[in-house]
């Protein structure tokens, strides 16, 4: 037990070290816990790590594996753990997802990652039928009291606060726009944190629009267009539909702040920073517990402190180094508990 934990800690440390070295070596900029800066002109391909477990893993997720948002954050995290899961993606219809979950369980898959809050109801029906299978479900703060369910949750307000603070530095108090999807889950946490970070630094107008859809790109696009007419000087947004808003930011030369995955590919010029979910940090723990026979019963969260949340700064944006170090100070304060971003 103890050795395992320390081994994990070592792995994590090595990963972080490697990341920061990579960032430092390539970008030449300062780096500390919670941030990384990419070198402009290189792609951010996720490097496959060493395989941490022999458990068979499947993922059921609502959007595309390559959405540069919610679903991709999970797939990338598993890649970093050297795992090639079986994937059923794009199951925005809950019934389809439920079929897939049950199918994987019947096939004897050891661990099924149920990547969507909305699948919780179906999961509560399925999980008790397969007591030998471990279900990892999120984003959720509770395991619904079922023994073979792990829950996971990103403290998305933390990175949101950092993004919001950077944005406010860029606008110097000018208005900022947020394109939100549905008022639920990590989207709300991120947006609330972002708002708080910006407002703490003198921005009075953070205009938030919830489009009502995670996937409607046209709505996200027009929501961003509407925010542009309000005169926002920075934009952020979450969900896979955010790509529409990034396009608008790109066209209008407005800085963009991403979340869930690194969104530099959507706009090399305008993406300033992305809060990236590194699920591997908690997945690794969960896999170990599963190998030891604990199939669930615990909820874990991603934080800046445990390295599950990483604010990745776009090297191509040439963010002022003062702002970057300011952001690192904010991160330190959050980790230290001096700042408590509201979720």
DSSP letter, residue 39: P
Site for another protein in 45-64 (CB under 8 A): 63-64
Minimum separation from the CB atom of position 117 to another protein (A):
16
Residues between 286 and 305 that touch another protein (CB under 8 A): none
Q: Measured from the CB of residue 29, what is the shortest distance to another protein in angstroms?
A: 25
Q: Are 196 and 157 within 8 A, CB to CB?
A: yes
Q: How far apart are CA 216 and CA 220, in angstroms?
A: 6
Smallest separation (angstroms) from another protein to the CB of 335: 29
Strands (E), the chain: 35-37, 57-60, 86-88, 111-115, 134-138, 149-154, 176-180, 206-210, 234-237, 256-260, 271-277, 299-302, 309-313
Is 271 an interacting residue with respect to another protein (CB under 8 A)? no
Under the criterion CB under 8 A, does residue 75 sit at the interface with another protein? no
Separation CA 233–CA 237 (nearest Å): 14
Shortest CB 19 distance to another protein, Å: 20
39, 250, 288, 291: which one contacts another protein (CB under 8 A)? 250
Nearer Cβ to another protein, position 140 or 208? 208
The residues near 5 (Cβ < 8 Å, ≥ 6 apart) are none
Q: Which is nearer to another protein, 207 or 323 (CB)?
A: 207
Q: Whose Cβ is closer to another protein: residue 99's or residue 222's?
A: 222
Instruction: Report 167-206 residues binding another protein (CB under 8 A).
Output: 177, 180, 182-183
Q: Which stretch binds another protein (CB under 8 A): 26-34, 218-226, 285-293, 304-312?
A: 218-226
Is the Cβ–Cβ distance between 247 and 221 less than 8 Å? Answer: yes
Task: Say which residues have a Cβ less than 8 Å from residue 30's Cβ, sequence separation at least 6.
Answer: 24, 321, 324, 325, 328
Count of residues interacting with another protein (CB under 8 A): 44
Between the alpha carbon of residue 73 and those of residues 65, 69, 125, 204, 227, the distances in Å are 8, 6, 26, 32, 27
Q: Give the residues lining the site for another protein (CB under 8 A).
A: 63-68, 72, 89-90, 92, 177, 180, 182-183, 207-213, 215-219, 221-223, 225-227, 229-230, 240, 243-244, 246-247, 250-251, 265-267
């Amino acid at each position: 037990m103890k050795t395992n934990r320390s081994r994990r800690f070592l792995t994590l440390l090595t990963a972080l070290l490697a990341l920061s070295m990579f960032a430092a070596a390539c970008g030449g900029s300062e780096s500390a816990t919670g941030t990384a800066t990419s070198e402009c002109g290189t792609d951010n391909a996720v490097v496959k790590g060493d395989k941490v477990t022999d458990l068979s893993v499947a993922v059921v997720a609502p959007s595309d594996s390559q959405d540069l948002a919610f679903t991709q954050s999970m797939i990338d995290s598993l890649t970093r753990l050297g795992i090639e899961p079986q994937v059923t993606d794009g199951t925005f219809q809950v019934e389809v997802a439920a079929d897939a979950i049950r199918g994987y369980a019947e096939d004897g898959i050891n661990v099924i990652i149920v990547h969507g809050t909305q699948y919780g109801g179906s999961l509560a029906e399925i999980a008790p039928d397969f007591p030998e299978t471990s279900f990892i479900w999120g984003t959720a703060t509770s395991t619904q009291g079922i023994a073979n369910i792990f829950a996971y949750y990103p403290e998305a307000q933390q990175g949101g606060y950092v993004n919001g603070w950077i944005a406010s530095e860029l606008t110097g108090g000018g208005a900022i726009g947020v394109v939100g999807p549905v008022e639920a889950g990590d989207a709300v946490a991120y947006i609330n944190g972002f708002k708080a970070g910006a407002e703490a630094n003198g921005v009075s107008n953070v205009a938030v629009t919830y489009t009502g859809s995670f996937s409607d790109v046209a709505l996200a696009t027009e929501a961003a267009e509407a925010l542009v007419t309000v005169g926002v000087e920075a934009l952020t947004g979450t969900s896979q539909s955010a790509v529409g808003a990034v396009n608008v930011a790109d066209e209008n030369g407005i800085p963009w702040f991403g979340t869930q995955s690194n969104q530099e590919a959507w706009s090399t010029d305008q993406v300033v920073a992305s809060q990236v979910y590194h699920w591997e940090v908690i997945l690794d723990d969960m896999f170990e517990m599963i190998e030891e026979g604990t199939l669930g019963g615990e909820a874990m969260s991603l934080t800046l402190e445990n390295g599950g949340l990483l604010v990745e700064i776009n090297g191509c944006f040439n963010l002022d180094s003062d702002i970057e170090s300011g952001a690192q100070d904010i991160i330190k304060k959050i980790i230290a508990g001096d700042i408590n971003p509201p979720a």
